[in-house]
Amino acid sequence: MSVMTGFVIIMAEQIGLLWKKLHAVPFGVYGASKVGKTTLHHQLRTRGEVPRIKERTVGRGRATRKSIKIDGDQHTIRTADIGGETVYWGEWLKDMKSRKVKYIIFMIDDRHMDKHYDIEQQLCWTFLVDTICSRYWDAINRRQKKKNHDYPVAVGLWANKFDLWKDKYEYEDIQNHPIFESFKDGMQKLNDKGIPCYKYIVSAKSDSEMVYRGIATMIEDY
């Protein structure tokens, strides 16, 4: 290999690294209210124990860049913090569309296991899955047809607050954990549409390693 070729290869590698640093991957974080979306945003910014979040998120915040480094590999992602109440679901749609979100994290906690009448999260999930799978951005009026690149690359179903419920339920393997059971129709629907959907377990509040690894895995595997 000539000196020139070697130099070109090194330069290309450096440019690749710089590109990865500057070109943030657009992520969307959605889920019912109080599942831990704001906590996750804090975790991505600060790395470490996140203080208890008391204020509720109002509407949609500005999207900001977060840098994630795991096993020496660096990724930059861009996310916006959005409220989870029904009135903000329209903001999720706007966020997906305006930022061309490539990866979606849907957060849940174990409230539906605790109280079977609480189906808030399942409603959110159904809304999200239908929005993603629809061939139109405006699903109700069947307007604004989506293009191929308008669909996300992958969706992660993230069960949060693991620290609170880890000993509460019987399970053999995370993939078969009963917490995901109520969400399986939506997962199937996404998979049928050709959008991979995978299950993950985190403690956004206290375990930065789990959070960072989950994000790196999404970017690297899909």
Ligand X SMILES: Nc1nc2c(ncn2[C@@H]2O[C@H](COP(=O)(O)OP(=O)(O)O)[C@@H](O)[C@H]2O)c(=O)[nH]1
Q: Which does 203 bind (CB under 5 to 8 A by kind): Mg ion, ligand X, none?
A: ligand X
38: contact with ligand X by CB under 6 A: yes
Q: Which of ligand X, Mg ion, none interacts with 35 (beta carbon under 5 to 8 A by kind)?
A: ligand X
H-state helical runs in 63-158: 89-98, 111-114, 120-133
CB neighbours of residue 138 within 10 Å = 12
Question: Hey, what are 207's tokens?
Answer: 């375990």
C-alpha to C-alpha distance for 85 and 124, rounded to whole angstroms: 9
Q: Name the closest residue to Mg ion (Cβ).
A: 57
Binding status of residue 203 toward Mg ion by CB under 5 A: no
What is the Cα 215 distance to its own chain's centre? 8
Binding mask 168-197 toward ligand X (x if CB under 6 A, else -) reads ------------------------------
What residues numbered 41-100 form the site for Mg ion, per CB under 5 A? 57
Cβ closest to ligand X, residue 129 vs residue 204? 204
Angle at 142 (CA atoms; ends 136, 144), nearest 5 degrees: 50
Q: Exactly one of 24, 26, 28, 37 binds ligand X (CB under 6 A); which one?
A: 37
